[in-house]
Amino acid sequence: MSRHSEARAPWVGLVLLTLVAANGFSYADRYLFSILIPAIKAEFGASDGSLGLIGGPIFVISFVALSLPLARLADRWSRRGVLMLAVVTWSVATALCGVAANVVQLGIARALVGAGEAGGMPASQAIVSDLYDDRRRSGAMGVLASSTYLGLVLGIAGGAAIAAAWGWRWAFVLIAAPGLACALLVALLPLGRRERGGAAPPALPALTVLRRCWGIPSLRLLALGIGTFNIFAYGAAVWMPAYFIRSHGMSLVAAGSWLGIGAAVGGFAGSLASGALVDRLRLRGEQWQLSVPAWGFIVSLPIYMAILLLPGGSAVPVGGAAIPTVALLSVLTALFSSAAMGPAFGAIARLVAAEERAQATAFAIVLINVMGSAFGPLLAGLVSDALGARFGAESLRYSLLAMSTLVLAGGLLLLWASLRYPHDLARGAA
């Protein structure tokens, strides 16, 4: 079956939706921790710095260590097998967070969550790249990227509601459970020609593949650009719920609900629209593949700054209700910042050979996460601790505000990548 006929096969859409669901629960398990920080802090008496350590480096060390080996296994063995193993691992590990007796046990469980998630997105994006041709791939990648925002809704809004009703421990357990059903669906669905016995070409050494990825300027720059943005974005993902609670007087459920609504409305719209927009605009010039997400980052900066500068309690009357202004602005930041992932990973799929796609994706994800997850939550927590004596409950506001300048730096790096991208395609990197 040709790739074009595969892209029109009726089961392809079901495969894509299954991958969105599986990765949505992956992100839910990841971001659930952020909305539960106040409750965990109260029970364990932990500092912001120690919880930032769990939310950042402890999670990301296992994630980074296993991303490339699991991606290579997906390219050389079975994308289905790696994805199934990943979903089961992160789901079980998330449930274990709910039975942790202390901060150390919680840290170990979070490390296991990172180990499971390491195998999820590279295998998923390689499957999508196999099933969709160049004309449709960015749009399909945008759909897959929407799993990030599905996860935010499930993890933050759903987690807050469960924690309010039954406590933070049950939030971990109940959010983790549906992942096992997703693993069963992955086992049953056809996932493309590489899963039907197609022979793979001789394997290049892993270091050779990584050197080739680093040697493609636009691939290197897009990974550095998104990674720079994510130092702020990952820090904000972990600490923005606590900022809403501390500086804007919201309850746990209100903070989770408003952030979840912002992610759902803005993130879904941005992910889907950016992929479809890029599929159209790149016919006029290949640079649009990366300049669209670059401008998404740049435009989002003043909105992020407004969120972090608004006085507590600011609201906009809508009908008979007062909607927090920070919640409305969060819809816009999600809309613009979500424009990056689908087009960026669609670009990666075109820059490398089919048998290297999972590894190239993992290369970018590792670089992004080393920069973002490892430093963002920890840096925001440590700066907040340092500013606590002067600003008290407002310390998170100024910590995140200082870090928001990284949004502009990330956008400029992506613009640079967009200038190199057409040359890299013409050079025959794909």
Residue 22 placed within a domain: yes
Domain that holds residue 341: 15-189+206-426
pLDDT number for residue 290 = 93
Predicted local distance difference test score (pLDDT) of residue 197: 44
Cα 303 to Cα 344: distance, rounded to the nearest angstrom = 22
- Structure confidence at residue 224 (pLDDT): 95
**CATH value at residue 117:** 1.20.1250.20
**Residue 329: its pLDDT value, please?**
93
User: Does any domain span residue 415?
Assistant: yes
Is 272 contained in some domain? Answer: yes
Q: Is residue 316 part of a domain?
A: yes
Residue in 424, 61, 430, 426 with CA at minimum distance from that of residue 221: 424
Among 205, 71, 190, 179, residue whose Cα is nearest residue 125: 71
Considering the domain boundaries, does residue 307 fall inside one? yes
Structure tokens at 132: 């969709």
pLDDT at 192: 52
Residue 280 lies in a domain: yes
Residue 201 domain flag: no
Structure tokens at 251: 């309850």
**Contact (Cβ atoms closer than 8 angstroms) between residue 139 and residue 339:** no
Contact 236, 386 (CB under 8 A): no
Instruction: Give the chain's residues under pLDDT 70.
Output: 1-10, 191-206, 428-430
Q: What is the pLDDT of residue 170?
A: 94
Domain tally for the chain? 1
pLDDT in tens, 288-323: 999 999 999 999 999 999 999 998 878 888 877 788
CA 415 → CA 79, 284, 351, distances in Å? 32, 17, 17
Q: Is residue 406 a part of any domain in this protein?
A: yes
Label each residue of 328-349 as H, E or C: HHHHHHHHHHCCCHHHHHHHHH
pTM comes to 0.75
Q: Rg for the chain (alpha carbons), in Å? A: 20
Could you tell me the two tokens for 269?
Answer: 């719209």
User: How many other CB atoms sit within 10 Å of the CB of residue 276?
Assistant: 16
Tokens of 188: 């049953």
Number of H helices, E strands in the chain: 22, 2
Cα atoms in the Cβ-side hemisphere of radius 13 Å centred on 128: 34
